[in-house]
Amino acid sequence: MINALEALGLRVYAPRAGRFLEVDEAVAVFGIYLKIFGKPAKGSFGGTDYDDFHKWLDNCINVANTLIRQDLALAEYVKERQEEIKTVISDYQILLQVVEQNKWDLTQPYDIALMKRSLYTARGLSDAAKKSLEGSYFERVIKKRIEDGKPFPLSYVINASTSVDWSVLDLFYQLCIFEHFKAMFDAAETGTDEGPICNMSLITQYLARFTDEYASIITARFLSDNKFQATLFMGFLYSLFRLSESEYEDANDPFPKGRIPFLTIHQSKGLEFPVVVLGNARKDNKGPQEVERIVNPLINREGEPLDRMTSFDIMRMFYVALSRAKNLLVVAHFKGTGQITSEPFKTIFSGNIFSANVTRIPNFHMSSLPSAKEEINDLPKTYSYTSDYLLYQQCPRQYMIFRKYGFVQSYSQTMVFGNVVHKTIEDLHYLLMQRGEKL
Amino acid sequence: MNDQEIEAKIRSMFEENYELMRLGGGRALSADVKNAALYQVLLYWRKMREVAETVTDTEVTLNLPEQITPEGRKYGIEGVVDIIHENNNRTVMYDIKTHDADYVRANTKEYEKQLNVYAYIWQGLRGQQLDQTAIIAMSYPNSVRDAIAANDDKLIIKELENWHPLIDIPFSQESVQETIRQFGEVVDAIESREFIPPPVDKLTTLLPGKKNTFAVQICRNCDARFSCSAYRNYARLSASKGDSPLKRFLEDFGSDLDPEDWRVSNLEVTLSPEDLEI
């Protein structure tokens, strides 16, 4: 059915239909990450999850290869990042050799006068590492630390000069330059489709979690021996894969605009739609669950009798299914060998009620269907003067991405700055008010 | 608690808040920026202590429910007032901004709208008149910064006297209904999902009270600029010949921090002592 709708150009949204990591957006983004950081080798140990995960990795790479073939700039970008990683790793090894030759200890304090020259002039060191070693800001911080009696160890200086300039989250935002990803933002801006942007937002949330837990800075030391690759793919993403976390869900706004939602009957509880299709009118009564069988005799209460419990459950479920539609409910009526229709549909389809209330599709006139109205949510929402009104006025697009869809920002000093100042002033006021009360 | 103890307490509260925010997913500030933030609070205490010591209410959340947008949506307005100060039957509402005084003066109209809406809600809720609305602009001038850097106490006192962070905002309830109507229009736009970025012209205009354009001040601090049509047009227009647009984009890391500062300040806090070993 999903395929049939998509063939007509109608997009669908099927939460829990698969793992989040299997949605197109995640496959494309992590495919590019795999191209940049390299794909972890598959171990000989088996297990279905492990095999599935490696199939997922392969699929990501295939998709990334296609994207790269279609976009020369993206190909260039990926190549540059690969080169950059190679360079920092090579710089790191060169600097470690200098340390070894001079018989320095990595934990000893960094001594500018003694060490800087030897490190800086090491043969084969890249310009980027040189620039970092002689950076004026860096030197100022180093001197300040010495003054404060907390000098940096040599290892710190080496790590700092052999790190890449970006975090995995920065990488994500940079990737959005390329047409394939930019199109997802464009679709959300114009309100045509918000499915992809919801999933992109969830990717930033996962990447931010990774950044917080493992590394906001990617050092050459971390990149060496495929440690970073193993942490990101085999540690972090493999765990996500096994958890089978599902697609983006927003409790206030459960369905992305522009998509036909596919829901289980349980998921649809409490919701209403102009048109509902019940894909299957069959629910077999397999008797009560084992746990009910065990627990039922033990609890002394008047409830539903054990032998009728399942049929009651099925009735409740169909009640939910049948009461979601506002204008039109379409029920699939399968016929043929092996097809079973459960009650109450069996009666409805064959009995007198059928002719009175239900029409077969060939006899149905679309003109009799009331047109669907977009409902304005009756529950009033509260909007903040500063973080809604002023932010939207500043830039509607920025508002959409960070406030509405909850993308995690990669780095914002401005925000941390404002928050820490406001919070401390608030604390100061409370302190002074308390003091005032004591006087 | 004497003045010195209070300053010590400010420092420790600041450190604690900073650590909490960093752990909560906020990123590290570079040493200089962090110090500037700490000094905003310390100097607020030194310069504005009369206000600070007579605060009667802080972080007051105001709600104006039951509003209706031009398109008929119900909504509510929420705002947070930093300081309410009651003294000798006079009630003043202060809002704290981390901007500098010149910037606030150049944007008085905008602040006037905000504070008067807050005042309107506050008066309605409390059934009490307000007498004054004002802004405290916390970003101190370079003369004060230099005096601190020189560690010259006399000079600091002198420069603090020349600093005027308190800016009166005209208190008038006349345009409140108009502001609320504009607010409603924005709510309608948000609910109808109108999210097109501003036109390139806006990106190239200087922000009132700032030496920077919108593109430099706002866009360059926005992670999503790389995928933004307006910013791409701006970058294309301002690119020098021969630069590949891709290169230009990626090299404009110069948000509020250059890559070196970014790396140094984050590395410092990211790596635990064990990490420093190789």
Contacts of B227 in chain A (CB under 8 A): 173, 176-177, 181-182, 185
Which of B167, B191, B215 is the last residue in one of the domains?
B191
Q: What is the pLDDT of residue A411?
A: 62
Residues A387, A389, A393, A399: what is their CA dihedral angle, to the nearest 10 degrees? 50
Range A124-132 contact pairs with CB under 8 angstroms and sequence separation of 24 or more? A124/A90, A124/A94, A125/A91, A125/A94, A125/A95, A126/A87, A126/A88, A126/A90, A126/A91, A128/A87, A128/A88, A128/A91, A129/A88, A129/A91, A129/A95, A129/A161, A129/A162, A132/A160, A132/A161, A132/B260, A132/B263
Contacts of B190 in chain A (CB under 8 A): 383, 388, 392, 399, 404
Q: What is the pLDDT of residue B271?
A: 40
For residue B77, CA distances in Å to B62, B82, B134, B183, B272 come to 8, 16, 21, 8, 44
Q: Is residue B208 located within the same domain as residue B110?
A: no
Q: Is residue B207 located within the same domain as residue B184?
A: no
Contact B278 A163 (CB under 8 A): no
The DSSP output letter for A19 is: -
Separation of alpha carbons B16 and B20, rounded Å: 6
Q: Is residue B186 located within the same domain as residue B77?
A: yes
Reduced to 3 states (helix: H, G, I; strand: E, B; else coil), residue A118 is helix
Q: Which tops the pLDDT comparison, A212 or B158?
A: B158
Q: Poorest-confidence range of A162-176, A283-297, B150-164?
A: A283-297
Query: Which of A106, A419, A424 is opposite residue B10, by nearest beta carbon?
Result: A424
Q: Is residue B68 located within the same domain as residue B161?
A: yes
- The whole-angstrom distance between B45's CA and the closest CA on chain A is 9
Q: What is the pLDDT of residue B275?
A: 37
What percentage of residues in chain A have a pLDDT greater than 70? 90
Give A438's pLDDT tier (boundaries 50, 70, 90). Answer: low
Residue-averaged pLDDT of chain B: 82
Backbone φ and ψ of B168, nearest 5°: -70, 135
- The whole-angstrom distance between A196's CA and the closest CA on chain B is 14
Contact B75 A381 (CB under 8 A): yes
Q: Is residue B75 located within the same domain as residue B147?
A: yes
A428 touches chain B (CB under 8 A): yes
Instruction: Locate the chain B residue with the closest alpha carbon to A385.
Output: B79
Query: Which of A76, A381, A392 is opposite residue B189, by nearest beta carbon?
Result: A392
The interface predicted TM-score of the complex, written ipTM, equals 0.85
pLDDT higher than threshold 90 for residue B117: yes
**Mutate: best of A214, A428, A437, partner B, most B CBs <10 A:** A428
Give B171's pLDDT tier (boundaries 50, 70, 90). Answer: confident
Tokens of B210: 């700032």
Q: Is residue B175 located within the same domain as residue B233?
A: no
Instruction: Locate the chain B residue with the closest alpha carbon to A402.
Output: B224
Give B77's pLDDT tier (boundaries 50, 70, 90). Answer: very high
Q: What is the pLDDT of residue A242?
A: 85
Contact B78 A384 (CB under 8 A): yes
Q: Which tops the pLDDT comparison, B184 or A338?
A: B184
Total tally of structural domains belonging to chain B: 3
Q: Is residue B151 located within the same domain as residue B236?
A: no
Q: Poorest-confidence range of A89-93, A174-178, A259-263, A305-309?
A: A305-309
Separation of alpha carbons A296 and B263, rounded Å: 63
pLDDT higher than threshold 70 for residue B258: no
Tell which A residues from 172 to 191 touch B, by Cβ distance under 8 Å.
Answer: 173-174, 176-177, 181-182, 185-186, 188-191
Q: Is residue B42 located within the same domain as residue B61?
A: no
Q: Is residue B65 located within the same domain as residue B187?
A: yes
Q: Is residue B41 located within the same domain as residue B80?
A: no
Q: Which tops the pLDDT comparison, A337 or A228?
A: A228
Q: Which tops the pLDDT comparison, A340 or A66?
A: A66
Give A348's pLDDT tier (boundaries 50, 70, 90). Answer: low
Domain assignment of residue B32, given as a range: 1-47
Separation of alpha carbons A186 and B229, rounded Å: 8
Q: Poorest-confidence range of A79-93, A356-370, B36-50, B66-80?
A: A356-370
Contact A416 B117 (CB under 8 A): no
Separation of alpha carbons B230 and B17, rounded Å: 36
Q: Is residue B29 located within the same domain as residue B86?
A: no
- Most trustworthy range by pLDDT among A360-374, B27-41, B148-162: B148-162
Contact B96 A422 (CB under 8 A): yes
B66 touches chain A (CB under 8 A): yes
pLDDT in tens, A364-384: 888 888 888 766 556 788 999
**CA neighbours within 13 Å on the CB side: how many for B10?**
25
A435 touches chain B (CB under 8 A): yes
Backbone φ and ψ of A297, nearest 5°: -65, -20
Tell which B residues from 199 to 258 touch A, by Cβ distance under 8 Å.
Answer: 218, 221-224, 226-230, 246, 249-250, 253, 255-258
Q: Is residue B58 located within the same domain as residue B187?
A: yes
The DSSP bridge pattern shows strands A381-384 and B74-87 to be: parallel
Separation of alpha carbons A77 and A79, rounded Å: 5
